């Protein structure tokens, strides 16, 4: 291998980053030749600016058994790499690859995806340092030797050839039985599969019944319940609730999202309100009020719905309705109604990992119920004067709720922190005003501030206000910020998605 020094000045555009840095320098230095790397512009449903898939399998085959080992994405030297972190993470997850290399010639970053699916920065350097640090890069991404590959393939082939005759016979017999199955039996299998996949309520009902019959209500549960609350409106509670739920769901968590606000913004945002006329209202007969009105019927399996076209994967939702406000007086007269949500959540604790509750901007029963049921509290705030002044009200309300929790032998609510939300991206604001706003939270209100920041960007509102035409009728078609990014390649949307990925990681770290 002939070594030469790489100069980032060689790269004046994205094409030259590809040809001069990746193809002519990096891949050869790492031990890869053209017969074991592959360039694609589209893989499955992923649209790529440029992607090189490096695989130790010859010839190149991309599948779940033999995924690419390295995903390399090149960017124009004028683009900042931080804007593309989330996209590269998505590539690694969808392609089941271990390493991702992101470079614009001026910088180079290597990310690693661990066994739990988390993607972390493993190595970074400036473009002018690449040649000097090529051994460090090679130690991470260097090609597996061809002899090792051939030895592995030969070993696997030998194991197959030496399989006991009876084993091969059994496999053959099984295959013959399947191929000779009557057509009606095949149809039955397909039908049963469909029934199973659509039996969300039945599955939950069975789990609930088992939990009650087994009298396991007091056992320790791993399910965590998080309330999103501030008594001031317009601070981004719904945006935080639905997109945090979406992010956690994409990380493989089983998530339940509960809408406790009569405005039903979360219900709308998750695609459950498709109707345009009152006579088509399919929510009014079964929503969160019915969960609270009795302890003897209307359990979570009876009320829960699956979000519609909102996120991949979709999320379980307990919807709300504008009529919720009319029932508050009735529930207020029933003291036990305050703890019904807590009790019914315990019945499905073996099914969900995380429950997120979107709350109303008030200090009434519908705000109290989520804070009684929750383990943790996140307080979204735009950190403006009115929102900050309202933090004293929040603290007093939480104190009252904790008195009730103590009366029912429940630990105090844990405050995860104040979450800066709807924060302007203006550079002068971030330099001068934002630091002062943050200091008020700890200095004046003595509250913890979360590390995550949800910036105010247009895609966050656009993704939830999407519509589509069905015939002559325009119906809502909201998307999570993640599915919105998959539909539309937009730098601002990618940055918002990264905000929520960071928030989800912080939340998981705090609850674990």
- Is the pLDDT confidence value at 16 over 90? no
pLDDT greater than 50 at residue 346? yes
Q: Which of 66-80, 209-223, 233-247, 446-460 has the lowest mean pLDDT?
A: 209-223
- Residue 127 DSSP symbol: G
| Fold of the domain spanning 201-511 | Rossmann fold (3.40.50)
Neighbours of 470 (CB within 10 A): 11
The DSSP symbol for 449 reads B
What is the reported pTM? 0.64
The predicted structure's pLDDT at residue 36: 64
What pLDDT score was predicted for residue 170?
45
Per the CB < 8 A criterion, the answer to whether 200 and 316 are in contact is yes
Domain boundaries, the chain: 8-149, 201-511
Confidence at 39, pLDDT banded by 50, 70, 90: low
Q: What is the pLDDT of residues 404-454, one digit of tens each?
A: 999 999 999 999 999 999 999 999 999 999 999 999 999 999 999 999 999
Q: Is the pLDDT of residue 217 over 80?
A: no
How far apart CA 101 and CA 107 sit, in angstroms, is 11
Give CA–CA dist 507/248, Å, rounded: 9
Give every CB contact of residue 45 below 8 A, 6+ residues apart in sequence: 94, 486
The yes-or-no verdict on residue 317 having pLDDT over 80 is yes
- pLDDT > 50? residue 103: yes
pLDDT for the residue numbered 192? 39
Q: What is the mean pLDDT of the chain?
A: 80
* pLDDT tens-digit readout, 263-287: 999 999 999 987 777 878 889 999 9
Give residue 391's Cα distance to chain centre: 28
Contact, 111 vs 120, CB < 8 A? yes
| Better pLDDT: 218 or 309 | 309
The correct CATH number of 8-149 out of 3.90.1570.30, 3.40.720.10, 3.30.420.40, 1.10.1200.10 is: 3.90.1570.30
| d(C-alpha 276, C-alpha 36), whole Å | 55
Nearest to 417 by CA among 317, 509, 498, 481: 509
Question: Is 228 a residue whose pLDDT tops 50?
Answer: yes
Residues 195-201, mean pLDDT to the nearest whole number = 43
What is the separation of C-alpha 409 from the centre of its chain, rounded to a whole number of angstroms? 33
**Which of 55-64, 71-80, 93-102 is predicted with the least confidence, judged by mean pLDDT?**
55-64
How many CB atoms sit inside 10 A of residue 165's CB?
7
Task: Give CA torsion, residues 311, 316, 320, 321, to 10 deg.
Answer: 70
């Amino acid at each position: 291998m002939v070594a030469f020094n790489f100069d980032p000045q060689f790269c004046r555009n994205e094409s030259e980053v590809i040809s001069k840095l990746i193809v002519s320098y990096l891949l050869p230095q790492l031990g890869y030749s053209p017969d074991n790397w592959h360039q694609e512009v589209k893989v499955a449903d992923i649209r790529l600016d440029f992607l090189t898939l490096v695989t130790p399998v010859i010839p190149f085959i991309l599948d779940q058994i033999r995924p690419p080992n390295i995903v390399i994405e090149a960017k124009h030297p004028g683009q900042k790499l931080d804007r593309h972190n989330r996209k590269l993470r998505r590539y690694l997850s969808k392609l089941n690859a271990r390493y991702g290399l992101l470079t614009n010639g001026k910088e180079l970053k290597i990310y690693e995806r661990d066994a739990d699916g988390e993607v972390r920065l493993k190595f970074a350097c400036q473009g002018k340092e690449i040649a000097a640090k090529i051994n460090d890069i090679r130690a991470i991404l260097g090609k597996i030797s061809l002899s090792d590959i051939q030895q592995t393939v030969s070993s696997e082939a030998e194991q197959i050839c030496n399989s006991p005759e009876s084993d091969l016979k059994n496999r053959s017999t099984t295959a013959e039985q399947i191929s000779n199955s009557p057509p009606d039996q095949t149809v039955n299998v397909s039908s049963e599969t469909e029934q199973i996949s659509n039996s969300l309520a039945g599955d939950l009902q069975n789990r609930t019944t088992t939990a009650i019959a087994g009298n396991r209500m007091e056992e320790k549960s791993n399910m965590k319940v998080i309330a999103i609350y501030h008594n001031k409106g317009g601070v981004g509670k719904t945006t935080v609730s639905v997109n945090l739920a979406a992010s956690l769901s994409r990380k493989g968590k089983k998530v339940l999202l509960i809408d406790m606000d009569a405005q039903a913004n979360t219900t709308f945002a998750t695609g459950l309100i498709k109707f345009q006329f009152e006579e088509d209202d399919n929510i009014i007969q079964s929503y969160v009020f019915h969960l609270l009105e009795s302890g003897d019927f209307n359990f979570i399996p009876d009320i829960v719905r699956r979000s519609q076209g909102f996120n991949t994967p979709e999320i379980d939702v307990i919807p709300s309705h504008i009529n919720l406000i009319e029932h508050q007086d009735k529930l207020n007269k029933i003291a036990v109604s305050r703890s019904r949500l807590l009790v019914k959540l315990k019945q499905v604790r073996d099914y969900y990992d995380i429950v997120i509750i979107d709350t109303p901007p008030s200090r009434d029963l519908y705000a109290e119920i989520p804070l009684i049921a929750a383990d943790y509290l996140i307080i979204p705030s735009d950190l403006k004067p009115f929102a900050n002044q309202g933090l004293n009200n929040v603290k007093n309300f939480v104190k009252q709720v904790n008195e009730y929790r103590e009366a029912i032998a429940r630990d105090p609510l844990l405050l995860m922190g104040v979450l800066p939300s709807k924060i302007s991206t203006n550079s002068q604001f971030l330099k001068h005003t934002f630091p002062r706003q943050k200091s008020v939270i700890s200095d004046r209100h003595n509250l913890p501030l979360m590390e995550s920041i949800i910036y105010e960007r247009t895609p966050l509102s656009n993704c939830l206000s999407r519509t589509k035409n069905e015939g002559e009728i325009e119906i809502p078609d909201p998307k999570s910020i993640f599915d919105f990014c998959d539909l539309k390649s937009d730098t601002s949307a990618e940055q918002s998605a990264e905000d929520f990925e960071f928030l989800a990681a912080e939340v998981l770290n705090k609850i674990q």
